[in-house]
Structure 1
Amino acid sequence: MEALFRDIARLDPEAQAAYMALHSPLDEQGRYLPFDELFYRFPESMDITLAWGIIKSARRQQQQSLMFPRPPLASASFMLTPLIQRTVSQADRYATTHALQGMSDKVGERERLGYLLEGLIEDEAISSSQLEGAATTLHVAKKMLRRNREPRTADERMILGNYKLMQHAWQVRDQPLSLAMICDFHRIAVAGIDDDQYRPGAFRDTDDVVVVDQDGDIVHQPPPAEGLEARLQSVCDWVNACHDDAQRPEYIHPLVKAVVLHFTIGFEHPFRDGNGRVARALFYWFMFKNEYAAFRYIAISVLLKRAATRYGRSYLYSETDGLDLTYFIEYQCEVIGRAIALFQENFQRVARDIEECNAWLDRSGLNQRMSHRHQLVLQVARAGLANVFTITNVADRLGCSYNTAAKVLNDLVDYGLFRKRKAGREWLYSMRQRREIISDWRDVR
C-alpha cells in the first residue's frame, strides 16, 4: 500500500487529486463494483492498476475478516454496504418468527396463514431444481406435489427431493451444523435421481469436479478433495460459533452469516453434483435456526433463476478478488430484499382474500355452518393458490386424518361451493365459478 501511494505522490498535483478522488469503496452511485465493471469507467489518462489499487485500499479499511480457521477461506472478508444493511433491516422487520406471529394474529391463526402461503415453499423447491437444470414446468411440478403423485422423471425426482429437503431444513433447525447433517441434506435432495452420478450423501474424493459456464468454459476449480472434510469441519465450527453479540468486533448478522454459508458450500463443492441445492437449503436452515421463520414462505430461488448468470458471476467476482465476499453477499441481499417484498405482497393479498371471504360467508349465512377447515380450503381456492384438491393433499396440508379431509371436501360440495369428479381411482375437487355459486344461493333464498 505504501508503494501505491509513493507512485501517486510522484505525479503532478492535479493527477494526484484525480486518483485520490477514487479513494472510496463505492462508486458515485453507491455501488460496490468489481474490476471488470470499473476499469472502463476510468479516464484514459489514468493508470488502471493505480486506480484499482486506490479503490481496493479504501475497501480494505472497511472490510471485516470472516476469520475462518483454515485456508483458502481464511482470507475471506466482506464489507457491510448500504444495500446489505437495508436488506438486513428488511429481514428484521418482516421475516422474523415474531413478525410471522403478528401476521398470523392478523389473519386469525398460524395454521391458516401457513396453508395459504404453502405454495411459496413449493416455489422454492421447484425453482432451486430448475436452477440445476430441471426442465419440468411450474404447473406440472406443483400438480405433482399437491396430489402427492410419485415422480415419473429424473427432473420430477429432483423437485420432490428439494421439497423434502426444505421440510427437513425446518425440522432440524435446532441442531448444530455437522458433516453428517451436510451429507443428510445431500442425500435427501438427490437420492433416487441418478445415484451413480450423484453418489447421495458421499463427499467427492477426486479433483475432476469443476464448475462450467453456459459455453462449457471452466469458471471455478474447487479446492482439492484432499483435506475437504477438515475444511468443511472448520466451516461447521465457524457456523456453530457465536457471532451474534453486537458489542463484539466479530459480530455478523445472521442473514449475512447464512449467505456466507451458502457461498462456502458452493466454493468447496463437496459433492459430485447437487451442491447448489444443498447450499441454498443450508441458507434456509440457518435462517430458521435464528428465528427467521417467515423464510419458510420466502422463495429466493425463484428470483435467482431469473438471473442465473448474475448468480454465477457473483461467485466468480468474489473468488477472483481475493475472496472478497461482498459481491456475492450484495447480490444475494438484492434478491432476498425483492423476495421479502414479494412475500409481503402475498401476505397482503391473503389477508384481503380472507376478509372478503369472511364477509361473503357472513352474508350468505354459511359461516355458521362451516368450520375453520372448511373456510381455509375455500380461501385457498378463492385465492387461486390451488385449483384442484385431493383428499390426501388436504389431509397433509391441514394435518388431519384422511376421513376428516374427505368430510371437509364433500361438505363443500354439499354447500354448493365445490364440485368433484373422478380421475382414475382418485376424486378431484375444485371450486365452482363464483357466479354459479351466487346464482344458486339466490335461488335457494
Structure 2
Amino acid sequence: MIKLPPSVPEGVFVLIGQEPHLQHLSDYMKLTQPTDSQGRYLHFDQLRHRFPKHLDQAICWGIVKYERSRLYQQILPVGTPEAWCKFLLTPTAQRVVSTVDRYASTAALEYMSSKIGKAAHIKYLLNDLIEDEAISSSQLEGAATTTLVAKDMLKRERLPRTPDEKMIIGNYRMMRFAWDKRNAPLSAELIAEMHEVGVQGIDDDKYSPGSFRLNDDVVVQDGDSNVVHTPPPAEGIAKRLGRLADWINTCHDDATTSRYLHPLIKGISLHFALGYEHPFRDGNGRVARALFYWFMFKSDYAAFRYISISVLLKNAAVQYGTSYLYTETDELDLTYFIDYQCSVVQRAVDSFKASYEKSVKEAESFEQWLWESGLYKELNEKQKTVFQVAKSGTAKQFTAVNVKENLGCSYNTASAVLNGLVELNIFVKKKQGREWVFSMRDQAEIQKNWLKTSR
C-alpha cells in the first residue's frame, strides 16, 4: 500500500523561520520546486524516502505542495459531488508532446510512407502492428492467450475458441470502432456503444455489454485484494459521462488562450476519467484505453493506429495502477497519471519510429540486392511487397486471406502472388487444416536457389 500524504501544516514558510526549523532553513528552501533535481514529479510515497532525515516530512511536503499549487491548472471534472482534477506541465510531458507532434501526426505518417517509396509495404507493416494493442490490452486485463497464438488467430480470421480469445477479438473490434468513429462527437451513447462492440459475446452476464452499472457493488482491487478505488455512485453515471463528453467536445486547440490543452494531455485525461468513473461492470480499462486512441485519431494523430501503449503498460501493470492511486490520494492531482502515461507514450513512439527506420533501411538494402541479382524484374509489385514484409520479419506466415486484406486485392490475386513466390523458390507452402500457409525460405537458401536457376 502507498503512504498517503500527511496533512500540510498551516504557514509552512513561517514555521521554517522559527526554531527548531530555522537552523535548517537552507535545506528546506532547496525543496521550493515542483519536481526533484532530475525533473521527476514524485508523490509523497516516493519523496518521503528522499527528504533529508533531519527535516520534518510534513513541512517538506507542505513546501513542495505550495510550489505545485502556484502552477496548477484545472483540467476536468469527475465524480459526485463534482470535483476538478488539476495538473501542471512537467519537463517529461513537454518533451513527449514534442515527440508526438514530430512523429505521430497524420502528416508525419504520410511523410514516412512517401519516404520509403513503397506505400504498400509500409501499409502492410503497419496493418500488422495494429494487432499489438488489441492483444496487449486484453493481456493487461488478464487474458492468458499468448501473443503468438493471438496474432495467428487474427491473421487467419479464425473464430475464437476461448473467453480470452474472445476478449482479444473484442478489443480488435473496439480499436477499429475507435478509428471508424473518429469524426463523431463524444457522448455517453458512444461510450456505451464502444463497450458493447468490445465485450459482446464474451460473457454477457458478466459484462452487460453496452449497459452502465446499476449498483454500487463494483470496486477496484490491487493484487492483494485490497480495495484501492471505490468509483462514484451508479446513480448519475450517464449524466456525468455527458458532462465529460461536453468537456471533450469543447475546443481547447487555441494556443493563444489560457485554456489551451495539447491533444495528448486531453486524451490521457479522458483515459483517466473513464477509469475513475468506472461506468461498466467490467471492461472499463479496455474502453478507457480505446477512448484515448479514439481521441488521438480525432485530433489528427493517425500514427497512433500503429502505436501500442498497452504493450508497455502490460509490462509495468503495477506502475500503471499506482499512477491512478497517486492522483486519487493527492487531491486529484492528475499530473502523476499524465506524467506516467507520457513516459509510456514516449517509449511506444520510439519503438514505432525504430520499426519504421529499420523497415526503411532493410527496404533499401533489399532493393539493391534484388536489382543486382536480377531477381527484381521477375517479381511484380505485389510480390515485392509481400517478399519485403517477410524479409523484414514483420510477418513470418502468410495466407491468401491475410494478403488479400493487407494488399486490398481479390482472393485469387492474393493466391497468385503467393504461389508465384513459391514457383520462384522464394516461399514454401504447407497445408494447415483446410488452408495453405506460406512462409519465406532462409535468405541464403533463396540466394542459392536463385544462383542455380539463373545460370
Query: How high is the TM-score relative to the length of structure 2?
Result: 0.94
Residues 34-76 of structure 1: CA deviation (Å, up to 9, x unaligned):
0111123223443322221111010011111114387556320
| Map of 2:397 onto structure 1 | 388
| Secondary structure, counterpart of 1:176 in structure 2 | coil
* 1:79 aligned residue (88, 101, 120): 88
- Is this contact kept in 2: 1:4–1:53, CA < 8 A? yes
Aligned residue type for 1:304: L
Q: CA deviation at 1:14?
A: 2.8
- Give the conservation status (yes or no) of the 8 Å contact 1:73–1:323: no
Amino acid at match of 1:219: V
Gaps of 5+ in 1: none
Deviation at 1:278, TM superposition (A): 0.5
Q: Show the counterpart of 2:18.
A: 10
Whether contact under 8 Å (2:16, 2:22) holds in the other structure is: no
Alignment partner of 1:46: what SS?
coil
* 1:428 matched residue in structure 2: 437
Matching residue of 1:210: 219
> 1-side partners of 2:316 and 2:404: how far apart?
36
Unaligned runs of 5+ in 2: 1-8
1:217, distance to aligned residue in structure 2 (A): 0.7
Q: Distance in 1 between matches of 2:204 and 2:371?
A: 55
What is the aligned-residue RMSD (CA, Å)? 1.6
Moved over 4 A (4+): 69-73
CA–CA separation in structure 1 for the residues paired with 2:119 and 2:248: 30
2:129 is the alignment partner of 1:120:
yes
SS in 1 for 2:48: helix
Describe how 1:347-366 pairs up with structure 2 within 5 A: 347-366=356-375
The letter for the 2-side match of 1:4 is V
Identical aligned residues as a percent: 54
Q: Is the alpha carbon distance of 1:54 and 1:358 closer, same or farther for their aligned partners in structure 2, counting shifts above 3 Å?
A: same
Deviation (angstroms), 1:8: 3.3
Offset from partner CA, 1:304-346 (integer Å, 9 cap, x none):
1111000000000001101000000000001110111111110
Shift of 1:353: 1.9
Once the 2 structures are TM-superposed, how far is the Cα of residue 368 of structure 1 from its aligned partner?
Answer: 2.6
Shift of 1:109: 4.2
Aligned residue in 1 for 2:298: 289
Q: CA deviation at 1:152?
A: 0.4
Paired residue secondary structure (2:209): coil
* Cα distance in 2, alignment partners of residues 357 and 141 from structure 1: 29
Which deviations, in whole Å up to 9, do the C-alpha atoms of 1:178-207 show, x marking residues without a partner? Answer: 112111211111111111000111111111
Structure 1 residue 19: Cα displacement: 2.5
**Which range is displaced more, 32-41 or 309-318?**
32-41
Larger CA deviation: 90-99 vs 420-429:
420-429
Partner Cα separation in structure 2 for residue 69 and residue 323 of structure 1: 9
| Aligned CA distance change for structure 1 residues 322 and 407 (closer, same or farther; 3 Å) | same
Quote the Cα distance in structure 2 between the aligned partners of 1:7 and 1:287: 47
Distance 1:441 1:169, change over 3 A: same
The Cα of 1:259 is off from its aligned counterpart by 0.4
Distance in 2 between residues matched to 1:73 and 1:131, nearest whole Å: 30
Task: Give the aligned partner of residue 25 of structure 1.
Answer: 34
The count of residues paired between Structure 1 and Structure 2 equals 445
My pick for the range that moved more, 170-179 or 302-311, is 170-179
Q: Does 2:200 align with 1:198?
A: no
Change (3 A) 1:141 1:30: same
Work out which of the residue numbers 442, 445, 451 in structure 2 matches 1:442.
Answer: 451
User: Is residue 305 of structure 1 aligned with residue 308 of structure 2?
Assistant: no
Deviation for aligned residue 1:119: 2.6
SS at match of 1:68: strand
Give the whole-Å Cα distance in 2 for the aligned partners of 1:320 and 1:52. 14
Superposition map of 1:14-413 within 5 A? 14-68=23-77, 71=80, 74-413=83-422
Identify the range of structure 1 (112-121 vs 249-258) with the bigger mean alpha-carbon deviation: 112-121
Tell me how far 1:125 sits from its aligned partner: 0.9
Deviations along 1:269-326, whole A, 9 cap, x unmatched? 1111111111111111111111111111111111111110000000000011010000
One-letter amino acid of the counterpart of residue 396, structure 1:
E
**Matched residue SS, 2:83:** helix
**Which letter maps to 1:265?**
L
Distance in 2 (alpha carbons) for counterparts of 1:395 and 1:163 = 19
